[in-house]
A and B are shown apart, each in its own frame.
Chain A
Amino acid sequence: MVEIVLRPSAPSTKTHNIPGNMAIWAAILSEMSEFAIMFIVYFLAKVHNPVLFSEGPARLSTMAGASNTVIMLTSSFFVVRAVIAMRENKPQTSVRWLWGAVSCGVLYLIIKYFEYEWNTAQGLSTETNIFYAVYYYVTFNHFLHVGWGTAAIVWVIYRLNTDIYTQEEHEGLINIALYWHMIDLAWITIFPLLYVIR
């Protein structure tokens, strides 16, 4: 059996150490709570409007939703590889992985823009019915998170390029990586709820 040890020099307090710092975890837990409230609204609206929530996903583009899921998961993978590269003291490799993540973020935003345009062409809007109101509220909120998350990765790239981070100290990179994974987690939940489950 292969044991995966991410930080060989880390102390043996493996049940108490924290990836990143407490500030980013406060932000992540706050954001996860915000999305949890949206998901509760979704479930409540669904049980009170079963027909609208059964028919709603069929008029959305499953292709757009699935494509953006693949893109978000791939961006998260790129971010993980960027962190691993930094631990191997390969900052330029880390930068390349991060540009990959930024490209995914931008591609996600472009696809989401055209998805909204496509919806509009079909006559769908926040006022069509409660399913689409929930859909636009949740997905636009996530859209904003992807936008500023992408900008934050660009900021980390700038700091990497100016040698602010080292192999031993790159907590800013870890924090943004964790935040980006949180954005990914929100999307992998949104995808089945709004696009898949009828």
Chain B
Amino acid sequence: MYNAHIKLINNLWMLLILLTLFSAYMAEQTTPGLLSVSIMAVVLGIKGRIIVDYFMELKESHIVLRGLMRLYFFVIPAMIILVYLYPEQIAKWTAL
């Protein structure tokens, strides 16, 4: 039981590292565009979900805490994409 769990945690850690290196590579090598920004947003969402579900062990825990923490990693990636797509509109709405 513990061995299976340890193996899962080890694999998830390696996945998190690979996703981070992928993000850094994209930052240095790609031209900013909707595709690259969307990929980075999705990568952030995946990394957040892994930590919330498996490292914080909320996958099968309190439904409200799990929902709030998961929501965080839906909203921030969505904001990244929305700010990229509609910067002028959002600037207009938020101008003082």
What is A's interface to B at a CB cutoff of 8 Å? 2, 4-6, 8, 14-19, 25, 29, 32, 36, 39, 43-44, 46-48, 50, 54, 57, 62-63, 65-66, 69-70, 73-74, 76-77, 79-81, 84, 87-88, 178, 181, 184-185, 188-189, 191-193, 195-198
Can you sample 5 A-B contacts with CB below 8 Å?
Answer: A46-B83, A80-B9, A80-B55, A184-B55, A192-B40
Extra contacts, 10 of them, besides A47-B90, A192-B41, A192-B80 (Cβ < 8 A), are: A14-B61, A19-B61, A43-B83, A57-B27, A77-B13, A184-B51, A192-B40, A193-B80, A197-B37, A197-B80
Main secondary structure of the interface of B (DSSP, over half): helix
Contact B94 A47 (CB under 8 A): yes
Q: CB within 8 Å of A: which residues of B?
A: 1-2, 4-6, 8-10, 13, 16-17, 20-21, 23-24, 26-28, 32, 37, 40-41, 43-44, 47-48, 51-52, 54-58, 60-63, 65, 68-69, 72, 76, 79-80, 83-84, 87-88, 90-91, 94-95
Q: Which residues of A contact B37 (CB under 8 A)?
A: 197
Q: How far is the CA of A36 from the CA of B6 in the complex (A)?
A: 32
A192 and B23 contacting across the interface, CB-CB below 8 Å: yes
- Complex CA gap A46/B10 in Å reads 37
- Check if B32 sits within 8 Å of A66, measured CB to CB: no
